[in-house]
Amino acid sequence: MQRNTWEAAFEDRRETIIQDWETFLRFPSIGTDPANKADCDACAQWLSNRLQQSGFTAQIVPTTGNPFVYAVRPGNPDKPAILVYGHYDVQPVDPLGDWTTPPFEPTWRNDRLYARGAQDNKGQIFYTICAIETLIAAQNLDRTIIFIIEGEEEFGSDGLNQALDAWRDQIQAEALLVHDTGTVSSGAPTLIMGLRGILQFEFTLQGATHDLHSGVHGGIAPNAAQAAATICASLHDATGRVAVPGFYDGVQPPSDHERELAAADATTPESYCQQTGTTPDGGMRDLPTYERVGFLPTLEINGIHSGYGGPGSKTIIPAQAIIKLSARIVQGQDPQALIDSVCQYIKDQTPPGIKLEITQAHIGGPGLRFAPDAPLLPYAERALAAVKPGENLVHRWEGASIPIVARLAEVSGATPLLTGFGHENDRIHAPNESFSLEQFRNGFLYTCLLLAQR
Ligand SMILES: [Zn+2]
């Protein structure tokens, strides 16, 4: 069936879809705040009831934190299942005074619905649910559909992560649909082709037991601030390459096809400067920006803290320094091996007289890269092209991380299909979050066109 069939189906149900979307947004499901635990439970219950009414077998699965909703509707047993992931938890709302209308009282202004979660992720998971209901009603869906909608995405997905292994058999699928991203700034439809993984580190450097007089001890005492500076300066060579031995182990350069697709989405120095106020001169300057962000790992200094930063001067030799680092890693790299290499390197660089303590070395998740010939990808490309005819489809190898996606892909065996209809001006995570009816409807049409029985 064609686009106009699904457009008509949307128009038919438009009033109730909007009403129910607003109901979903009224739950103050701020996942990270214990004060909102009952709201999160109620929101999960609402979702579960909703999916049950649409013919799914749904259940609320308790975790160490907020529950997740698991729902399944069996299809043709000869065809592999589709797993859909989303989250019902939302970011906190402060500063509350900056909201034009209250965050949990959904309000329409100029065809945009304003509320916390309007886009991230309630808006995007809800158009997905509505589209699947529409396909079921039209008897146009023959795949088994499995939903996992969790309540802790905005702060690490711990509960789902821990529970997931027990659900391995129930979530085996061919494709993993994740509608939690946005389009490029031009609004052109965007398919995410990869995500980087993340590692986080914190190191404490201790010299003397207390700050020392810089006159009495200057020239003798080891300086923790200087040690931090020396270590941080040793992390990269003059070309911007990470100097830690083994840091690039497992990295696979992009294929010619990937290069061609990624280059079409390249950042120019001008556009980068407009976005950020600076030039794209960090990292390995000699390589194209798309390769540095999408296909290579990085090690960034997130913070160095030591000594005196207040007004005037204070003549001390700082006793302590803290370094915070994060690495973004790519598919094919072993997160634990990288943790070990980075920690060993920092140990080796620590000057005499300074005691090193590794206060954090955390694996957020591995990197992911999707083959351009992955199953369902051509259907996703066609569906996106049909939603926005005449616009060039963008393939983006994303530099950021969604760690739970890598875990879900690994446990379910599914290939992730990541896309979404968010825009920068939706202001997710900020006051006055919103999502337009147009974006919502595009997401609905895309999901219908992707999943309609072929
Ligand atoms: Zn978010």
Q: Ligand 1 centroid to 273 CA: how many Å?
A: 25
DSSP structural state of residue 367: -
The CA distance from 347 to 341, in Å, is 10
Q: Ligand 1 centroid to 184 CA: how many Å?
A: 17
Q: Ligand 1 centroid to 180 CA: how many Å?
A: 8
In which element (H, E) is residue 340 found?
helix 335-349
The CA distance from 285 to 37, in Å, is 47
pLDDT one-digit tens code per residue, 216-261: 999 999 999 999 999 999 999 999 999 999 999 999 999 999 999 9
Q: Ligand 1 centroid to 176 CA: how many Å?
A: 18
Percent of the chain's residues with pLDDT above 90: 90
The CA distance from 112 to 97, in Å, is 20
Average pLDDT for residues 351-362, to the nearest whole number? 97
Q: Ligand 1 centroid to 207 CA: how many Å?
A: 40
Average pLDDT for residues 260-271, to the nearest whole number? 89
Residue type, 399: G
Please report the pLDDT score of residue 106 as a whole number.
98
Please report the pLDDT score of residue 300 as a whole number.
97
Q: Ligand 1 centroid to 120 CA: how many Å?
A: 5
User: Going from the N-terminus, what domains does the chain have, and what CATH number goes with each?
Assistant: 3-195+367-451 (3.40.630.10), 197-251+297-365 (3.30.70.360)
Q: Ligand 1 centroid to 144 CA: how many Å?
A: 27
The answer to whether 191 and 393 have CB atoms below 8 angstroms apart is: yes
Please report the pLDDT score of residue 371 as a whole number.
82
Query: In the predicted model, is pLDDT for residue 402 greater than 90?
Result: no
Please report the pLDDT score of residue 375 as a whole number.
78
DSSP structural state of residue 276: H
